[in-house]
Amino acid sequence: MAKAEKLPSSIDENYIIKKLDKYVKFNKDKKIFEFDKDKNLSLEELNFLESKISETNKRLNNLIISDNEQIKYLSKKVKVTSTPNLKEGAYLRYAEGIDAIDFYWWGMDIWLSKTTLNKAVATGTIIAGVFISSARILVALQILGVWTPVPGGIYMKVHYPFGIAEVRWHG
């Protein structure tokens, strides 16, 4: 029987994710995340895992990989990257950044390039069939204290259901 334990508040979601991560694995054959139903986990922890993994698996099932995107299935994540559209010998590769999404059982790490951001502030963007709204992008930029034009690429850590947990510059 699962022991009763109150989960920390949403502020401590990183703590919960770190604690439960050892129970989760990616099944490369089925292309889904799965978890061990350990008897030491509380009912709340099991429900937390089930809800996050269900959301992630739905997203993975709906991925649409375009011709300029690559997908890799790894032991703890699914990685989708776009081929950068940079001119030959471009010296600003560092400032441009990349477009990519790493899918984990708990959410996503999203990288958006400078070019994508400057277009997406008005319309949003799509990576692997995942729509990232202009409103979310503007929130991330406001956290960094920037409006447009955007000087470089950004990284966002997102917990489902699409709550921004961290934002920083990348390049």
**Mean pLDDT over all residues of the chain?**
85
Query: In this structure, are 14 and 76 located in the same domain?
Result: no
State the residue range of the domain holding 132: 69-170
Is 30 part of a structural domain of the chain? Answer: yes
Query: Is residue 162 domain-resident?
Result: yes
In a domain, 4, yes or no: no
Backbone angles phi, psi at 95, to 5 degrees: -75, -25
1 is a domain residue: no
pLDDT band at 88 (very low <50, low <70, confident <90, very high): low
Per the domain annotation, does 74 fall within a domain?
Answer: yes
- Band the pLDDT of 149: cuts 50, 70, 90: confident
Residue 51 predicted with pLDDT over 80: yes
The pLDDT > 90 percentage for the chain reads: 58
- Res. 10: pLDDT tops 70: no
Instruction: Determine, yes or no, domain membership for 3.
Output: no
List CB contacts of 91: < 8 A, sequence separation 6 or more.
Answer: none
- Total domains in the fold of the chain: 2
Tell me the longest C-alpha to C-alpha distance in the chain: 61
Q: Average pLDDT, stretch 5-15? A: 58
Residue pLDDT, tens place only, 53-82:
999 999 999 999 999 899 999 999 999 998
Please indicate, yes or no, whether residues 81 and 164 belong to a single structural domain of this protein. yes
Considering the domain architecture, whether residues 48 and 91 belong to the same structural domain is answered as no
Which has the higher per-residue pLDDT, 15 or 60? 60
Residues of the chain with pLDDT > 70: what percent? 85
pLDDT band at 97 (very low <50, low <70, confident <90, very high): confident
Say if residue 57 is in the same domain as residue 76.
no
Is residue 87 predicted with pLDDT exceeding 90?
no
- 23 and 79 share one domain: no
* Same-domain status, 57 and 80: no
Once rounded to an integer, what is the mean pLDDT over residues 137-157? 88
Same structural domain, 82 and 50: no
Domain match, 80 and 132 both:
yes
One domain, residues 78 and 162 = yes
Which of the four pLDDT bands, split at 50, 70 and 90, describes residue 160?
A: confident
CA distance 69 to 80: 7
> Is 73 found in the same domain as 15?
no
Same domain? For 82 and 22 the reply is: no
The answer to whether the predicted template modeling score (pTM) of the entire model surpasses 0.85 is: no
pLDDT at 126: 93
Full DSSP string of 18-76: HHHGGGEEEETTTTEEEE---TTS-HHHHHHHHHHHHHHHHHHHT----TTEEEEE-SS
> Does some domain include residue 2?
no
The arithmetic mean of pLDDT across residues 31-40, rounded, is 88
- Residues 53 and 131 occupy one common structural domain: no
